[in-house]
Amino acid sequence: MIKKIINEFTNKKILILGFGLEGKATYHFLRRYLPNIPLYIADQNTKIIDELKDDPYVQFITGQAYLDHLDKYDLIMKSPGITLKDIDTSSFRHKISSQLQIILKYYHHKIIGITGTKGKSTTSSLLYNMLQQNNKKTLLLGNIGKPLFNYIEDFNKQDYLVIESSCDQLEFVTYSPHIAIITNFYEDHLDHLNSLENYYKAKLNITKYQESNDYLIYYDGSINLQNAIKKLPIKAHIIKIGYDQQLDLYSQDGYIISNNQKIYNLSEERKLIGDHNTINIMLCLACGLLLNLDLAQMKLAINTFTPLEHRLEKVGTYNDITYYNDAIATIPYATISGIEALKKVNTLIFGGLDRHINYDEFITYLNNCSIENLICMPSTGHKIGKQIKNKKVYFVETLEEAVKLAKQVTKKNTICLMSPAAASYEYFKNFEEKGKKYKELVKEN
């Protein structure tokens, strides 16, 4: 199969667009198998030239003009971090490819693809654990931080590839996985895709190219997702999960039920808390049943699963205050879900990059919830904070100020939650950097 993939690159003028994690994986893959073919690498960062100065077969396009003349290449290997929203791609769209596009083309039958606005990393990781618990050879790849081409030599040895996919990775694909799982749709990533319609359209590529022998599993309670799916002629078998007993798998009266059988007791002790994680669990159980996994082993995987870093992560209890890090919560829905799951939140630290998301419902929620202290960070936090009444509202400029203040105002035996409800890359490289900084500050005396 690798030979077929290599043929995709032979006798072509190839551009690697973006030289981050995935771009580097593409470069090293090509150099392993095609060490002397000419390559072009485009990235805004001029420092990449120093990284590859010993490769005589590479030409660089860097700086502000790195997106110019994309139409002159035969194949554009686009990295997910690169947005083409301001470029008319109609004349060369067919030349845009990616690691995901190529792997979907040649390994379709082995792939379980997972996307959605929120919950995709937890769902992907939990499903991977279920498969492992059932002694299935599996790889967890994609948007989880593992570029596909870094593991391509292992693919033939695996039973399943669980691939988490973002809207950026799905935007230009023309193939879909054998099993597609969609968690939910909420307003997000308007800074990369210009409109909500484009965002949903990109996400739905995960099922758009499925055939009648493929499967689509999704959460029926997400209204935005429901409405978007109705606009697409779905060929795959559809499996719906949610809270309605008419669905294929649903939650009712404290149990998850399938085929009139109670398959999981939600009162069992586990670390995945909150209604949003109940949905993630149901999606995984639906997929596991489809794959005929052992139910007892799936339950064990659920109950022993440790939540991922920066996702309602318990930092610790210091001076009788328990701190949680939910830096991954970059939209209001995620922040509200975290608050509802923890229940004893006394202080909320929130705010980040303004991506022009509608915050009206979030403002209403904050005005009516039981949280006493709202610590507002720029930019969205400052805008939202001005519309909050009957709460203690504090405006800070830095995370350091926010944590210092939280230690002073949070009541004993309650929770301080850092959950931005906005993207973190106004002052941080990503949500991981923000979450790690928060944990450092919490642990300082």
3-state secondary structure 49-112: HHHCCCCCCEEEEEHHHCCCCHHHCCEEEECCCCCCCCCCCCCCHHHEECHHHHHHHHHHHHEE
Rounded Cα gap, residues 142 and 161, in angstroms: 10
Do residues 173 and 299 share a domain? yes
Residue with tokens 């939540």: 307
Q: Are 8 and 102 in contact (CB under 8 A)?
A: yes
Q: What is the pTM of this model?
A: 0.89
Do residues 365 and 416 share a domain? yes
Residues in the chain: 445
For β-strands 255-258 and 249-252, DSSP reports them as: antiparallel
Residue 280 maps to which CATH number?
3.40.1190.10
Q: How many angstroms separate the first and last alpha carbons of the chain? A: 56
Residue that finishes a domain, picked among 45, 74, 97:
97
Q: Are 420 and 329 in contact (CB under 8 A)?
A: yes
Query: What long-range pairs does 288-293 form, CB within 8 A, spacing at least 24?
Result: 288/127, 288/130, 288/134, 289/249, 289/258, 289/263, 290/179, 290/215, 290/217, 290/239, 291/131, 293/130, 293/131, 293/134, 293/136
Rounded Cα gap, residues 184 and 306, in angstroms: 22
Do residues 109 and 221 share a domain? yes
CA-to-CA dists, residue 292 to 137, 155, 203, 285, angstroms: 15, 22, 27, 10
Do residues 67 and 108 share a domain? no
- Cα 95-98-103 angle, rounded to 5 deg: 120
Q: Are 130 and 297 in contact (CB under 8 A)?
A: yes
Rounded Cα gap, residues 143 and 164, in angstroms: 5
What is the residue range of 68's domain? 2-97
Residue that finishes a domain, picked among 97, 126, 151:
97
For 405-424, what is each residue's pLDDT tens digit? 999 999 999 999 999 999 98
DSSP 3-state of 320? coil
Residue that finishes a domain, picked among 41, 70, 97:
97
Residue with tokens 């990295």: 79
Q: Say what the pLDDT of residue 266 is.
A: 97
Q: Say what the pLDDT of residue 193 is.
A: 66
Residue 254 burial class via C-beta count within 10 angstroms: exposed 0-12, middle 13-18, buried 19 and up: exposed
Element (H, E) at 353: none
Residue in 392, 396, 405, 389 with CA at minimum distance from that of residue 321: 405
Do residues 269 and 365 share a domain? no
Do residues 111 and 217 share a domain? yes
Domain count, the chain: 3
Residue 76 maps to which CATH number?
3.40.50.720
- What is the CB neighbour count within 10 angstroms for residue 409? 15
Do residues 249 and 122 share a domain? yes
CA-to-CA dists, residue 242 to 117, 118, 227, 281, 288, angstroms: 17, 16, 15, 11, 16
Do residues 162 and 230 share a domain? yes
Do residues 131 and 238 share a domain? yes
Do residues 196 and 80 share a domain? no
Do residues 90 and 112 share a domain? no
- Cα 151-29-16 angle, rounded to 5 deg: 120
Q: Say what the pLDDT of residue 357 is.
A: 86
The two counts, helices (H) then strands (E), for the chain are 17, 20
Q: What is the pLDDT along the chain (445 residues), one digit of tens a residue?
A: 899 999 999 999 999 999 999 999 999 999 999 999 999 999 999 888 888 989 999 999 999 999 999 999 999 999 998 999 889 999 999 999 999 999 999 999 999 999 999 999 999 999 999 999 999 999 999 999 999 999 999 988 788 999 999 999 999 999 999 999 999 999 875 666 678 888 999 999 999 999 999 999 999 999 999 999 999 999 999 999 999 999 999 999 999 999 999 999 999 999 999 999 999 999 999 999 999 999 999 999 999 999 889 989 999 999 999 999 999 999 999 999 999 999 999 999 999 999 888 999 999 999 999 999 999 999 999 999 999 998 999 999 999 999 999 999 999 999 999 999 999 877 898 999 999 999 999 999 7
Do residues 165 and 260 share a domain? yes
Residue 404 maps to which CATH number?
3.90.190.20
- What is the CB neighbour count within 10 angstroms for residue 213? 10
What DSSP assignment string belongs to 183-208? Answer: ----S--HHHHSSHHHHHHHHTHHHH
Q: Say what the pLDDT of residue 50 is.
A: 87
